[in-house]
Amino acid sequence: MAYAPTNDSDDFLKDEFYQFLEQTVQSINPTDVIVCLGDFNAVTSTVRDGFKRVMGPFDSGTPNDNSARLLDFCLGADLRVAGSWFERHDIHRFSWYSYDGQTAKEIDHVLVNTHWKVIQNYPVYRSMEFDSDHRPLV
């Protein structure tokens, strides 16, 4: 389970997070199945230039600095953003909702080895039993 610094965080913290994550993935036997769940605070998009191996055609949103870091990490670690390979309704894609009641994003992701197809599909459900910044729309 991973929790990345927010997009507004200091670059040093972001670099430190991805260095630690990279070291962790490198310590795993490459023939093992890797499934990394995380709040990466990153929005990927449907623009796949340079990332077709790690990102499918079904992401949405406006990329940010964390997006570039996540996708670069996935390229280097040979992981794919699993949810981007499945077409889902927004209600089953978005995992973060702003207090403004209008803005919704998919910032939580499942990363998996690119040579394993262990994830068939997964919807996001809008119910929670705890306090979080990932609140459902009311």
Task: Give the Cα separation of 55 and 49 in Å (integer).
Answer: 10
DSSP strand pairing (108-113 vs 35-39):
antiparallel
pTM of this structure: 0.77
CA distance to 13, 72, 135, per residue, from 9 (Å): 7, 18, 21
pLDDT of residue 137: 44
Coil vs helix vs strand at 78:
coil
CATH of domain 2-113: 3.60.10.10
Contact 77, 36 (CB under 8 A): no
What are the sequence ranges of the domains in the chain? 2-113
Please list the rounded mean pLDDT of every run of 10 residues in the chain (138 residues): 87 95 92 88 80 80 86 92 76 69 76 73 58 48
DSSP state of 130: S
pLDDT of residue 101: 73
pLDDT of residue 43: 84
pLDDT of residue 26: 93
> Angle of helix 11-26 relative to helix 65-77, nearest 10 degrees?
20
Write the burial class of residue 69 (CB in 10 Å: 0-12 exposed, 13-18 middle, 19+ buried). Answer: buried
Task: Give the Cα separation of 137 and 128 in Å (integer).
Answer: 11
Q: How many other C-beta atoms are found inside a 10 Å radius of the C-beta of residue 56?
A: 18
